[in-house]
C-alpha cells in the first residue's frame, strides 16, 4: 500500500476518489478514479456523517478493487471557502558563521511556522507555501539550498482551518476505518495539476461552481492573493427547474444533467427532452427550449456574482485568465463563451491530462494526489541531498583524520631528525 497515493474529494453532491502511484522516473500515474453520490455535506461542512461515510466507503472499496489492494489511508481535501490564509515571516539562526543551507534547515523553518501559527491562532495548519527567502538580509531568493549564510528568513502563506472543521472532515473517513494521512485544499491542487507556471504567474482566477457554493481563488505572480465564496451553486439551478416545471428535485437534477447546454440556439422549436421520473417511473417530457432558458438565467446570475467578487477583490485588472474546474456547470456546452462575455476575461475549462481521466469532475481529486506526488518527489530529492551531505561530512572527517595523522607523523619524524 505504501506505493499508492489515495485522494478523496468530499463534495456537497458527490465523493470523488482517485488512486495513483509514482513510476520509476518519479512521474505520477493515475490508476483509477471513481465517484459516489453524497447528500451529507452542506456549506458549513459535513452535516450527515452516516451518509458521507457510506459514500466514502463506496469510493474506497471501488478504488481498492481497481488496484486489487485494501486501502487503509487517504488524503482528504477541505474546501478553500472553509479555510483562512495567514502571512507569516520567520527567521532561523543557522550558526555564528556562514554555512551551507540544507533541506533540513527549510524543514525546521516550516516546523517553526507550524508551531507558532497553531499556538497563536489555535487553528490547524493545512498547508504552508514558502514565498520568498532572505539570507543574511539579502532577499528575493526563491531557492536557498546550497547557499551560504548565518540567518535564513522566509515569508510564507499559511492556510489554516479551525479544529472543528478539520474534525468534521476527518470523522466520516475514520468511522470506516480509513486513516487520514493528511489534508489538502480543494482548489489549490488545480494549480499543480492543470495550470502552467505562466498561468499562475500572469494572474489567474480559479472558479469551482459546486452544488451549494461557488468558490473563487485568485493567484497573482505565483501567490495566492484572494479567496471568496458565493452561496449559490448547482443546487440553485436544480431548485429553479423543479419550481418552474413543477417536478421533483430528483427529476430536476436529471434534467439539469441531461440538458448539456446553456444556449437555446440550434434547438428546434417544440423539441422535447425526456427522462424517466425517479418518483413514479413514468416518462416526463419537457420543452427543451424552456429548460435551457431556466438554466441559462441562473448560470448567468452566478457568473455575474463571480465577476462582482473579482472586481471587489481589487485584482480584477491583474487577472489574465479565468479557469473553471470541477464538474456540473463546467460540462455545459457554451459555458466558456458565457463567462468570457460576462466576466470579460479569457476562459477555459481545465481537465486532468491522465489517460482515462479527461473529465472536469476529477480535477479536484487528481489535484490532491498531484500535489502530494510533487511533495514525495521533493522528499526523495531531499533524502538524496542528505546522503550527499553525509558522504561529504564523512569524506571531510576522513581528510581531517588524514591531516592529523600526517601532522603526528611529521612530529614523530622531527624527534629523530
How far apart (Å, rounded) are the C-alpha atoms in residues 124 and 284? 49
Residues 43, 127, single domain; the answer is: yes
In this prediction, residue 379 carries a pLDDT of: 62
> In which domain, by residue range, is 80 found?
1-194+351-417
CA nearest to 89, candidates 24, 164, 14, 154: 154
Q: Which residues of the chain, if any, have pLDDT below 70?
A: 1-2, 378-417
Question: Mean pLDDT in the chain?
Answer: 88
Residues 172, 227, single domain; the answer is: no
How far apart (Å, rounded) are the C-alpha atoms in residues 284 and 413? 106
Residues 20, 59, single domain; the answer is: yes
**Rg of the chain over CA atoms, in angstroms?**
27
How far apart (Å, rounded) are the C-alpha atoms in residues 390 and 342? 58
Last residue of a domain, one of 288, 315, 345: 345
In this prediction, residue 191 carries a pLDDT of: 83
How far apart (Å, rounded) are the C-alpha atoms in residues 389 and 102? 9
In this prediction, residue 338 carries a pLDDT of: 97
Q: For 56-105, what is each residue's pLDDT tens digit?
A: 999 999 999 999 999 999 999 998 889 999 999 999 998 878 899 999 99
In this prediction, residue 399 carries a pLDDT of: 52
Asked if 53 contacts 157 with a C-beta cutoff of 8 angstroms, the reply is no
Last residue of a domain, one of 293, 312, 345: 345
Element (H, E) at 126: strand 123-135
How far apart (Å, rounded) are the C-alpha atoms in residues 220 and 240? 36
Last residue of a domain, one of 303, 318, 345: 345
Provide the grid cell at 195.
495550470
CB atoms within 10 A of CB 32: 17
Q: Quick check: helix, strand or coil at residue 70?
A: coil
How far apart (Å, rounded) are the C-alpha atoms in residues 214 and 197? 24
With 0-12 / 13-18 / 19 or more C-beta atoms within 10 angstroms meaning exposed / middle / buried, residue 101 is buried
Q: Quick check: helix, strand or coil at residue 143?
A: coil
Asked if 8 contacts 173 with a C-beta cutoff of 8 angstroms, the reply is yes
Residues 168, 235, single domain; the answer is: no
Q: What is the DSSP pairing of strand 204-209 with strand 321-325? A: parallel
How far apart (Å, rounded) are the C-alpha atoms in residues 193 and 181? 20
Residues 180, 121, single domain; the answer is: yes
Residues 291, 179, single domain; the answer is: no
Residues 64, 4, single domain; the answer is: yes
Beta bridge partners of 201: none
Residues 131, 46, single domain; the answer is: yes
Element (H, E) at 132: strand 123-135
Residues 182, 206, single domain; the answer is: no
How far apart (Å, rounded) are the C-alpha atoms in residues 75 and 17? 10
Start-end of H helices in 90-203 = 103-121, 163-174, 188-193, 197-202
In this prediction, residue 326 carries a pLDDT of: 84
Residues 107, 176, single domain; the answer is: yes
Q: For 109-164, what is each residue's pLDDT tens digit?
A: 999 999 999 999 999 999 999 999 999 989 999 999 999 999 999 999 999 999 99
Residues 41, 98, single domain; the answer is: yes
In this prediction, residue 141 carries a pLDDT of: 93
Residues 215, 335, single domain; the answer is: yes
Residues of the chain with pLDDT > 90, as a percent, come to 67
Provide the grid cell at 135.
539570507
In this prediction, residue 328 carries a pLDDT of: 85
Q: Return the CATH number at 302.
A: 3.30.420.40
- 170 CB-side CA count, 13 A: 14
**Which residue is associated with the grid cell 436544480?**
238
Asked if 255 contacts 275 with a C-beta cutoff of 8 angstroms, the reply is yes
Q: How many domains does the chain have?
A: 2
Amino acid at each position: 500500500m505504501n506505493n499508492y497515493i489515495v485522494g478523496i474529494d468530499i463534495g456537497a453532491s458527490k465523493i470523488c476518489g482517485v488512486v495513483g502511484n509514482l513510476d520509476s522516473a518519479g512521474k505520477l500515474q493515475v490508476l483509477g478514479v471513481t465517484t459516489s453520490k453524497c447528500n451529507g455535506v452542506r456549506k458549513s461542512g459535513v452535516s450527515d456523517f452516516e451518509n458521507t461515510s457510506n459514500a466514502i466507503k463506496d469510493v474506497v472499496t471501488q478504488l481498492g478493487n481497481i488496484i486489487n489492494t485494501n486501502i487503509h489511508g487517504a488524503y482528504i481535501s477541505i474546501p478553500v471557502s472553509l479555510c483562512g490564509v495567514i502571512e507569516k515571516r520567520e527567521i532561523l539562526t543557522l550558526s555564528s558563521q556562514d554555512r551551507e543551507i540544507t533541506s533540513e534547515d527549510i524543514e525546521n523553518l516550516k516546523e517553526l511556522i507550524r508551531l507558532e501559527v497553531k499556538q497563536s491562532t489555535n487553528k490547524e495548519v493545512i498547508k504552508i507555501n514558502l514565498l520568498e527567502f532572505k539570507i543574511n538580509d539579502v532577499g528575493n531568493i526563491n531557492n536557498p539550498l546550497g547557499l551560504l549564510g548565518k540567518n535564513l528568513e522566509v515569508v510564507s502563506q499559511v492556510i489554516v482551518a479551525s479544529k472543528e472543521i478539520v474534525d468534521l472532515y476527518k470523522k466520516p473517513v475514520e468511522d470506516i476505518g480509513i486513516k487520514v494521512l493528511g489534508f489538502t485544499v480543494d482548489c489549490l491542487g488545480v494549480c499543480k495539476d492543470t495550470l502552467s507556471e505562466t498561468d499562475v504567474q500572469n494572474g489567474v482566477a480559479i472558479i469551482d461552481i459546486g452544488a451549494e457554493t461557488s468558490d473563487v481563488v485568485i493567484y497573482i505572480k505565483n501567490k495566492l492573493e484572494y479567496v471568496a465564496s458565493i452561496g449559490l451553486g448547482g443546487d440553485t439551478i436544480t431548485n429553479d427547474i423543479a419550481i418552474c416545471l413543477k417536478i421533483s428535485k430528483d427529476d430536476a437534477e436529471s434534467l439539469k444533467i441531461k440538458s448539456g447546454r446553456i444556449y437555446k440556439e440550434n434547438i428546434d422549436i417544440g423539441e422535447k427532452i425526456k427522462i424517466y421520473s425517479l418518483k413514479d417511473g413514468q416518462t416526463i417530457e419537457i420543452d427543451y427550449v424552456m429548460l435551457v432558458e431556466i438554466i441559462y438565467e441562473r448560470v448567468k446570475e452566478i457568473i455575474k456574482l463571480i465577476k462582482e467578487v473579482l472586481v471587489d477583490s481589487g485584482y480584477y485588472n491583474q487577472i489574465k485568465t479565468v479557469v473553471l474546474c470541477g464538474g456540473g456547470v463546467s460540462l455545459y456546452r457554451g459555458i466558456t463563451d458565457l463567462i468570457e462575455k460576462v466576466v470579460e476575461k479569457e476562459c477555459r475549462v481545465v481537465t486532468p491530462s491522465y489517460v482515462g481521466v479527461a473529465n472536469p469532475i476529477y480535477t479536484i481529486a487528481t489535484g490532491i494526489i498531484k500535489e502530494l506526488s510533487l511533495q514525495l518527489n521533493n522528499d526523495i530529492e531531499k533524502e538524496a541531498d542528505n546522503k550527499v551531505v553525509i558522504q561529504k561530512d564523512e569524506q571531510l572527517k576522513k581528510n581531517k583524520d588524514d591531516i592529523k595523522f600526517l601532522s603526528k607523523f611529521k612530529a614523530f619524524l622531527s624527534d629523530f631528525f
